[in-house]
Amino acid sequence: MAATKAAPKIVDPTFETVKIERDKGVTFLIMNRPEKRNAMSPQLHLDMNDAIDHLSIDPHTDVLVLTGAGKAFCAGQDIRLYFRGTATDPAARAKARRASNDWRWQKLSKFPKPTIAMVNGFCFGGAFTQVSACDFAIASNSAVFGLSEVNWGIIPGGIVSWNVGQMMRLRDAIYYATTGEPFKGKRAMEIGMVNKSVPANKLKSEVMKLARLMQQKSPAAVKYTKEAIRAVRFMNEPEAADYLNAKSDALKFIDKEDSRGQGMSQFLDEKSYRPGLGHFERRNKAK
């Protein structure tokens, strides 16, 4: 009998405020300060930067899921440690702010694999940035969102106002940012903050369904597609057309699986699938 190949043993670094868990190519990146509702301390920002650097070049991560430990997704910036704790130390504040923006937006929105925000509970203030940075977001119906900054006398800073101006309709962004009114998962779906909202006991299975689907798509085509969609929003039409032509050409060169060739021949020659109704079979997986 042929010996079954053991799954590779993956040893991840450990962090004070972040956990990494794995399930066959789907990597869970978990904000892990449950007793503080995963509020973002300066240490959490540093840990997240290191964890994302590690995972962004990890060949065993096909899809990244960002979530929170316990009953919160993330209660925003830690008002005690991030705001009060650095108020009299400009260097510490600058370091924390840079680390905060780096992982929540720069690194997450450019992560080379599909990313899913699994919003399991409270999601306030600064946490809207990492939800916006992920390619997909799925919330629990019981998750509570809030642009709560106004409730304690600040504006949605960092880049939260910019994020919600893009994700939501302008009327909703201004309404929720100026009233600070909390809203739940289904409302978050209606106003464009998340793709879907599902009962709490279905949250993980919905996320895994989407993650498993994305594992079957061409990684190169998905990476270039998400980069293109984000990039062309800030271009005019001739710039976008030029960028997309160049991006399409580049894809042919970087795609080690020749997804385009496989997709075409499985449709035209083998007639084994319909591109309009589903994806081709990846027979040529490259890591």
Helix axes 160-167, 170-179, angle to 10 degrees: 140
Q: Which of residues 133-192 bind ligand ACO (CB under 6 A)?
A: 148-149
We find the least distance from the C-beta atom of residue 160 to ligand ACO, in angstroms, to be 7
Ranges of H-type helices in 217-278: 219-232, 237-254, 259-268
Q: Which of residues 244-283 bind ligand ACO (CB under 6 A)?
A: none
- Does residue 73 belong to the site contacting ligand ACO (CB under 6 A)? no
Length of the chain: 287
Alpha-carbon distance 166 to 216, whole Å? 29
We find the least distance from the C-beta atom of residue 132 to ligand ACO, in angstroms, to be 13
Sheet strands side by side (includes 144-146): 72-74, 122-124, 144-146, 183-184
We find the least distance from the C-beta atom of residue 32 to ligand ACO, in angstroms, to be 13
Choose between 68 and 114: whose C-beta lies nearer to ligand ACO: 68
Stretch that binds ligand ACO, among 61-69, 76-84, 204-212, 271-279 (CB under 6 A): 76-84
- Does residue 124 belong to the site contacting ligand ACO (CB under 6 A)? yes
What would the two tokens of residue 256 be? 């080690």
- Does residue 221 belong to the site contacting ligand ACO (CB under 6 A)? no
We find the least distance from the C-beta atom of residue 285 to ligand ACO, in angstroms, to be 40
We find the least distance from the C-beta atom of residue 101 to ligand ACO, in angstroms, to be 12
- Does residue 75 belong to the site contacting ligand ACO (CB under 6 A)? yes
- Does residue 78 belong to the site contacting ligand ACO (CB under 6 A)? yes
**Euclidean distance between the first and the last CA atom of the chain, given in angstroms as a whole number:** 28
| Cβ atoms < 10 Å from Cβ of 108 | 24
- Does residue 120 belong to the site contacting ligand ACO (CB under 6 A)? no
Alpha-carbon distance 240 to 181, whole Å? 37
β 183-184/72-74 pair status: unpaired
What would the two tokens of residue 183 be? 């809203």
Site for ligand ACO, rule CB under 6 A = 36-37, 39, 75-80, 122, 124-126, 148-149
